[in-house]
Structure 1
Amino acid sequence: MQFISAADLQQHLDWDSIIDALQAMFVEGCEAPVRHHHNMQLPGQADATMLIMPAWTAGKYAGLKLVNVYPDNSQKNLPSIMGGYLLMDGATGAPLAFMDAAELTARRTAGTSALAARYLSREDSSKLLIVGSGRMAMSLGHAHAEVRPIKEIHVWSRTTEKAEQTAEYYRAAGFNAEVVHTLEEGVRWADIVSCATMSEQPLILGEWVQPGTHIDLVGAYKPTMRETDDALVSMSKVFADTRDGVLAEAGDLLIPIANGNFNPEGISAELAELTRGQHPGRCSENEITLFKSVGASLEDLAGAIRCYESYQQR
């Protein structure tokens, strides 16, 4: 069995590769049960979450991700996401590789956002606002730049120092990047707004969002969490990575549904329908599109297979 580190994943699963692998897997499909989601109470700190995510393609590959999300790890200078991914032979069940789950998760999550943006954002989108400053914030800019001509990146975080570190990271990568000090300013400026936070209160308000904007929501992974208000959800054309996933876990949609401000049938399409050409995605330059992702085991399996096959050819 191979051990594939975070560095190996970065080398063998570049942004073009992960987006193409996700596209192919959403088109072809696989068996991907809704993930197990377990709350873990911790003394003296915020609750953690254990996620168990299986997926398989009949007779080819099977995979299982075990990941723990510890929100307070940032205060200890530790990643908030830790865990591992086991890739197996789908015909025999034999283990093939064990991978760093945090890096795989970051790359497949950002890749999924970029894949959705390929269908939902304006083709000329060049201004990206990143909301958050954790590990995902370091991936979203690169992924979106793979599918759109991103020239400028603005970053907002509750902690200005962390926002500046993220902006400096993107400047070093060749982007025109800077910190924005008010979210309203950043949202009104952006073509694409990409949020990766653990907020339990709305951050992005509908009244700030300009016609033609694409909203990408990859944080807020519990029914009690949200990054947007009811108004934004109501005024947007809404899409999901998977309907089952977002309707089980996504507070950004579940809270407006409970408030009577959104109907589950208002989800225009899920990502498989977009990739298969069953829905056109964005239909006008002025409409506001919203993509909600909670993560699906299909995405992990797609990335793990692509990385493993590339690693074997090294």
Structure 2
Amino acid sequence: MRIIENADVAAALAYPALMAALRKMFTEGCNQPLRHHHALDPDNSQSGMLLLMPAWQADGYLGLKTLTVMPENSAKGLPSIQSVYLLFDRDSGTPLALMAAEELTSRRTAAASALAATYLARKSAEKMLMVGAGAMAPCLIRAHATGRRLTDIAIWNHNAEKAERLAATLKAEGLPVRAALDIEAAAGEADIISTATLSSAPLIRGDWLKPGAHLDLVGAFTPAMRESDDQAVLRASLFVDTRTGGLNEAGDIIQPLKAGLIDESDIRADLYDLCRGTHPGRTSEDEITLFKSTGAALEDLAAAILAFEANRA
């Protein structure tokens, strides 16, 4: 069994190749049961969570990702999310590789958002707002900048110094990045707004969104968490990575559903529909689009196969 470290995973998962692998997997499909969530202490949401995410092809590969989510880790100087991935041969059940899954998870998540944006953001989109400055933020910025000419990328974070540090790092890579102090002003200017936080209260208001904006919600992965308000959901055409995840895990979708503000039929399409061409995605320049990502085991499997086959030699 091969052990593949984060550096080798990262080297194998360049965004153009990864987006192509995700498009292929969403087009062809695979088996992926609903992920298992286990609160380590059900009475304390800050104590952490264990997630198990299996997926397998009819022929080919089987994979399982195990990850922990520890909200208080940032105060300890540790990542909030840590994970490993185990890849098997589907036919024999033979373990093929054990991978560090931090890079795998962050890159496949960012690639899924960038893939969705190829269908949902305006082709002329140039200005991006990144809400959050954690581990996902640089991945989302780099992924959205793949194949798209972004001329202005603003980063807002509740800790302004963290936003400044990340902006400086990405600017050194040649990206047009700056820190933003006023989230409302930055959101009002943005063509693409990407959020990656652990927020339980809305950060983006629908009244701030300009016509044609694309909202990419990546954080807030439980029904109790939320990054957008009701007005944003009501103004936007709604899309999800998977309907199962969106309807069972995404607070940005579940909360307005329970409040009777939207129906399940208001979800226009998921990434299966977009990649298979059964829904066109954006239909006008002024349409506001909202993509809610909860992550899917299918995405992990596609990324793990790409990483394994690149490192097999």
* TM-score, reference length from structure 2: 0.98
> 2:48 aligns to what SS in structure 1?
strand
In 2, are the aligned partners of 1:42 and 1:48 still within 8 Å (CA)? no
In 2, are the aligned partners of 1:69 and 1:81 still within 8 Å (CA)? yes
Q: How many Å apart are 1:42 and its aligned residue?
A: 8.8
Give yes or no for the alignment of 1:50 onto 2:42. Answer: no
User: Hey, what does 1:196 align to over in structure 2?
Assistant: 196
Q: How does 1:181-220 map to 2 (within 5 A)?
A: 181-220=181-220
> 1:41 aligns to what SS in structure 2?
coil
In 2, are the aligned partners of 1:55 and 1:297 still within 8 Å (CA)? yes
AA at the equivalent of 1:80: S
AA at the equivalent of 1:156: W
Q: How many Å apart are 1:262 and its aligned residue?
A: 1.3
- The 10-residue stretch of structure 1 (295-304 or 1-10) with the greater mean CA deviation from structure 2: 1-10
- Say how many residue pairs are matched: 313
In 2, are the aligned partners of 1:115 and 1:147 still within 8 Å (CA)? no
Q: How many Å apart are 1:252 and its aligned residue?
A: 0.3
Q: How many Å apart are 1:149 and its aligned residue?
A: 1.4
> 2:307 aligns to what SS in structure 1?
helix
Q: How many Å apart are 1:224 and its aligned residue?
A: 0.4
Give yes or no for the alignment of 1:86 onto 2:125. Answer: no
Q: How does 1:1-314 map to 2 (within 5 A)?
A: 1-41=1-41, 46-313=46-313
Q: How many Å apart are 1:109 and its aligned residue?
A: 0.2
Between the aligned partners of 2:101 and 2:209, the Cα distance in structure 1 is 34
Between the aligned partners of 2:59 and 2:271, the Cα distance in structure 1 is 24
* TM-score, reference length from structure 1: 0.97
In 2, are the aligned partners of 1:26 and 1:272 still within 8 Å (CA)? yes
In 2, are the aligned partners of 1:118 and 1:148 still within 8 Å (CA)? no
Q: How many Å apart are 1:45 and its aligned residue?
A: 8.0
In 2, are the aligned partners of 1:9 and 1:307 still within 8 Å (CA)? yes
In 2, are the aligned partners of 1:218 and 1:294 still within 8 Å (CA)? yes
- The 10-residue stretch of structure 1 (169-178 or 267-276) with the greater mean CA deviation from structure 2: 169-178
> 1:113 aligns to what SS in structure 2?
helix
Structure 1 gap ranges (5+): none
In 1, are the aligned partners of 2:150 and 2:176 still within 8 Å (CA)? no
Q: How many Å apart are 1:217 and its aligned residue?
A: 0.4
* Deviation digits for residues 94-146 of structure 1 (CA, Å, limit 9, x no counterpart): 01111111111000000000000000000111111100011000100110111
Between the aligned partners of 1:94 and 1:182, the Cα distance in structure 2 is 52
Between the aligned partners of 1:105 and 1:145, the Cα distance in structure 2 is 18
Q: How many Å apart are 1:147 and its aligned residue?
A: 3.5
Between the aligned partners of 1:44 and 1:115, the Cα distance in structure 2 is 35
AA at the equivalent of 2:15: W
> 2:164 aligns to what SS in structure 1?
helix
In 2, are the aligned partners of 1:114 and 1:147 still within 8 Å (CA)? no
In 2, are the aligned partners of 1:22 and 1:303 still within 8 Å (CA)? yes
In 2, are the aligned partners of 1:129 and 1:194 still within 8 Å (CA)? yes
Between the aligned partners of 2:6 and 2:81, the Cα distance in structure 1 is 13
Between the aligned partners of 2:74 and 2:151, the Cα distance in structure 1 is 29
